Amino acid sequence: MQQPPVVLVADAIATAELAPLLAAGIEVLDRAGISAAELALEIGRCDGLLVRSRTKVDAALLAAAPRLRVVGRAGTGVDNVDLATATRAGIVVMNVPSGNTNAAAEHTMALMLALARHVADGAAALRCGRWEQKPFVGIELEGRTLGVIGLGRIGRSVAGKARGLGMRVAGFDPMLDAAAIREMGIEPMDLDGLASSSDVLTVHVPLAEKTRHLVDARLLALMKPGVRILNVARGGIVDEEALLAALTSGHVGGAALDVFEEEPPRSLALLQHPRVLATPHLGASTEEAQAAVARLIAGQVARFLIHGAVDNAVNLTGLGAEERVQLAPWMQLARRLGAVAAGLSLARPQSAELTRCGEGVLLRGDVLAAEAVVGLLSPWMGRALNPVNARLLAAEWGFSLVDRQQPGHKSFPALLRLVVKGGDSELVLDGTLFGHGMLRIVRAFGMNIDAIPEGHMLFVRHKDRPGMIAAIGTILSSAGVNIANMSVGRDAARANALSILNCDEPVPAAALAAVAAIPGVEHVRALHPDSAD
C-alpha cells in the first residue's frame, strides 16, 4: 500500500488552518519552532515543507531532503528560500501572494498617517507625563502626491486607499505599460520622475537582485526636501545607510519602516533616529491574514501532492487542478514523444523544436516544452529531471529548445511535432490524441503511422517488400514475445517502411540481433517510453 505524503510544518500555523492537508490524507508533522539542526534530521522523510519567514530553507537543508517535492511559504516573500538550489533540485516553491494583501496595505496606510501626524512620538510623550503639542505639528495628506513603486496587489491596494484620502497617486512598475497604469487611476512615471514628484514614497516590490537598494543615495537625492519614505515590502529595497544619512541631513523628513536588511536589526542607529517610525515586520500580522495565508498554502500544497496542481509557484508556471486535468494527456504525450526520440537518437541531442498545432490547452507551450525536455534528456543526462528543473539543467548542458505555435493542422484538430537535432541527424515525430486521451504517434521518419507510445516498443526500419513483417513476427514468436499491437507505414515511393510493435514482454537481445540481421532491415531499436513518466 502506498504511503501518504508527509508534510512538515516548521513554523507556527494554527491546526485548524492545516485542515486541507489532513482532509487529503496527508500526514502532517507539526514541528512549529523546530531548530535548524532538528529540521535537517527530520526533513529527509518529508515530501512537503510549510514555513513562514522564520525558517531558512537554504542549500544545506535542501541537500538533506531527497524526497522533498514542494516548499510552501505562508506569505508573499520567499527570500528565506534558496530558490536557485530548490529549482535545480526540482522542488516547487509556492507562496500566497494574495492572502495578506489587505493587511499589508492597511499597515502601510497606518504608518503613513502615523508618520504624518507624529502619532507614536505624541503618544510616547503623553505616556511619560508630558503634555506637548508644538513638537508634534504634522502635515495633511490630502492633496499631496503619493509615489508607489511596484503596482502589484499590495501597491494597487495602497493606491486605492490613498485616493480615498484625497491624495494624488503616481506609480512606477517596469512590468506594466503606461496605459495599464492609467487604467488603475494612477499617473505613470519613470522611477526618477516619481522620486522627484512625490511627497510620500512607498515601495511594494519583491526583493531581488534588481530591486536591492533600489532606493539608494542617488534616488534619495532626487527627492523633494522633507519627503517621507515608507517600506512595508522587504528589507534591502531601501539602502538603510543612505536613508540614515538623508534623515540626518534633514533632506528626508521621515521614514516609516516595517522591514529591515537584517531582522531583527543589530544596529539601532536607524531605529533610534527621531524621525523614524519602526515596527517589527507587522505588515501581515493580522488575525485574518495569518489565518488566510496558512489555509491557502495548506490547500495549495495538498492539491500539488495529491493532484499535481501548481498554484502560485514562483519557480514553475502555474497549472490549476482543472487545467491540469485538461492538459494531462497532452503533457504525457509530450513527455512520451521526448522519450521515444531519446531512444531513437543515436547522437547526443543538441537542440529541439516543439511545434503545437491547435489551440485551447495547446496554448500552454511552457508546460508542454518542459515535459518534452524531461522525456528527451533524462536518459542522456543521467540525472532526475522534472518540469521544475528541466529547462534550467538542459540549458546548462548546452541543449536548446524552441517552442512554436501554429493555428492548426491539415489532418488533425491538434498535434504536437517534436524535431530533435544531434550531430548530423534530425528526427521528426508527430503525436496526437485519439478519443479520450489515447496517445498516438502519427508520423515518424517521414512516414505516416498509427503507433501507441507505451510499454515495450520495437521500431524497425526496413525495405518495403513482401515477407518482412512475417520474418519479424517469426523471430519474436520464437523468443516467446507476444505482439500486442503493430502499425506499419511506408514512404511515398513505397521503397522503405517502418514497423512499430507493442510487445507484452521485453525483446531479448538475441531476438533484436536476429531482427537486425534480416535482409532489408536497416535499423532496429527497442524502447520503453513509459519509463519517463
Active site residues: 234, 263, 281
Strand partners, 27: 6
What span, in angstroms and rounded, lies between the C-alpha atoms of 228 and 293?
30
Strand partners, 168: 145
What span, in angstroms and rounded, lies between the C-alpha atoms of 147 and 88?
38
Pick from 368, 383, 308, 382: nearest CA to 338 = 368
Pick from 68, 86, 69, 74: nearest CA to 20 = 74
Dihedral (CA of 338, 340, 343, 344) sign: negative
Set of cell numbers at residue 345:
537518437
What span, in angstroms and rounded, lies between the C-alpha atoms of 494 and 200?
78
State the number of CA atoms in the 13 A half-sphere of 274 facing the CB.
Answer: 7
Question: By the 8 A CB rule, do 349 and 387 touch?
Answer: no
Residue written as grid cell 524621525:
275
Neighbours of 298 (CB within 10 A): 28
Question: By the 8 A CB rule, do 93 and 71 touch?
Answer: yes
Q: Please enumerate, as own/partner, the contacts of 20-26 that have beta carbons within 8 Å and a separation of 24 or more.
A: 20/295, 20/298, 20/299, 20/302, 21/298, 21/301, 21/302, 23/302, 24/302, 24/303, 24/305, 24/306, 25/306, 26/302, 26/305, 26/306
Residues in Cβ contact with 229 at an 8 Å cutoff, skipping those fewer than 6 apart: 200, 201, 202, 215, 220, 238, 243, 252, 254, 255, 256
Pick from 171, 239, 237: nearest CA to 201 = 171
CA angle (99 as vertex; 94, 103 as ends), nearest 5: 135
Neighbours of 247 (CB within 10 A): 20
